[in-house]
Amino acid sequence: MDGLYPEHQERTSSRGAATARARQTQESGFLEDVFAGLSAPRKSLPCKYFYDREGSALFDAICALDEYYPTRTETALLRSRAAEIAALAGRSAALIELGSGSSVKVRLLLDAFDRPALYIPVDISREHLMISAARLAGDYPAVTVVPVAADYVQGFALPAGVAAERAVVFFPGSTIGNFRPGEAIGFLRGLGTRLGRGVRLLVGVDLRKDKAVLEAAYDDARGITAAFNLNLLARINRELDGTFDLARFAHRALYNELRGRIEMHLVSLADQTVRVGGRAFRFHRGETIHTENSYKYSVGGFRRLAARAGWQAERSWTDPKGLFSLHWMVWPG
């Protein structure tokens, strides 16, 4: 893993007791969250658990779909604005990517930035993260790569010696839309508070548009998004001794116009009982598990939301069709 920060290189090459304990802790949190979600009057599961190895691979496939416009639109927007963004970032910036996945889009920034000193990919899927980080480190030997396997919502600190005013947080993919607006404000405020005065944020935000376009993006004709959604149940079966029969659940995606969000659900196709971790959960026919929200904004609407969180909006860019937006913000502290 040439180019990886030595401490993390050692950790990823020797998977000893510390790694096992970390995995056990994560699985424990997974079980608790599943119990809580399936016990609620309206069943739900946190979308962060989509991204095990299989889920991450399925999401990469979603990003290549014709119907899924966000990835190609954001990528084109980053490519067209990369030089402008690099000028704002300045020389020797430390680039932090939240929910880094396969670290594809960030390459457009690394190519454009003036001598980027550091890249910190943060992702909850440890195995996928380490593979992607090693690949990127090999392609960018002049950049120190420090992968952090963590749930970025829970918070993380800048490595020692990294000044906040040199840091650029990259939060692509409109993942901010997975938070309810109040949660988004809390998350953004916490991010700025933890990282400190002068930190910059580049965030991708999906825009409101025709309902048919939105629903097709989350319910593609090939069924890749359905497989991605159902993989959450398969993961529960694999890791938590679940007994979900995937053939008895169906993917549903709908646009809630009143709330301005896409909702993803898993619909029970029959009256049934499922066991997870030794506990039984009853489902009625037609009952759903709410797995994800994806809020859509106007440019002005998102800037107002970020301002409520304490961020100062400096630049916003959209593609020619007005499908997607990028926002450059600074934490005044």
Q: Where are the domains of the chain?
A: 6-12+66-209+297-330
Tens place of pLDDT for every residue, the chain, 333 residues? 335 443 333 333 323 333 333 344 344 599 999 999 999 999 999 999 998 989 989 999 999 999 999 999 999 999 999 999 999 999 999 999 999 988 899 999 999 999 999 999 999 888 889 999 999 999 999 999 999 988 888 877 777 777 888 999 999 999 999 999 999 999 999 999 999 999 999 999 999 999 999 999 999 999 999 999 999 999 999 999 999 999 999 999 999 999 999 999 999 999 999 999 999 999 999 999 999 999 999 999 999 999 999 999 999 999 999 999 999 999 997
Question: pTM of this prediction?
Answer: 0.86
Residue 28's pLDDT is what? 55
Rg over alpha carbons for the chain, rounded to the nearest Å, is 20
Q: Decide if 228 contacts 62 (C-beta within 8 A).
A: yes
Closest CA to 100 of 60, 62, 139, 67: 60
**CA separation for the pair 164, 182 (Å, rounded):** 25
Supply the pLDDT for residue 158. Answer: 72
CATH architecture of 6-12+66-209+297-330: 3-Layer(aba) Sandwich (3.40)
Q: Are 184 and 309 in contact (CB under 8 A)?
A: yes
Closest CA to 257 of 288, 211, 293, 226: 211
N residues, the chain: 333
3-state secondary structure of 260: coil
CA distance 97 to 108: 13
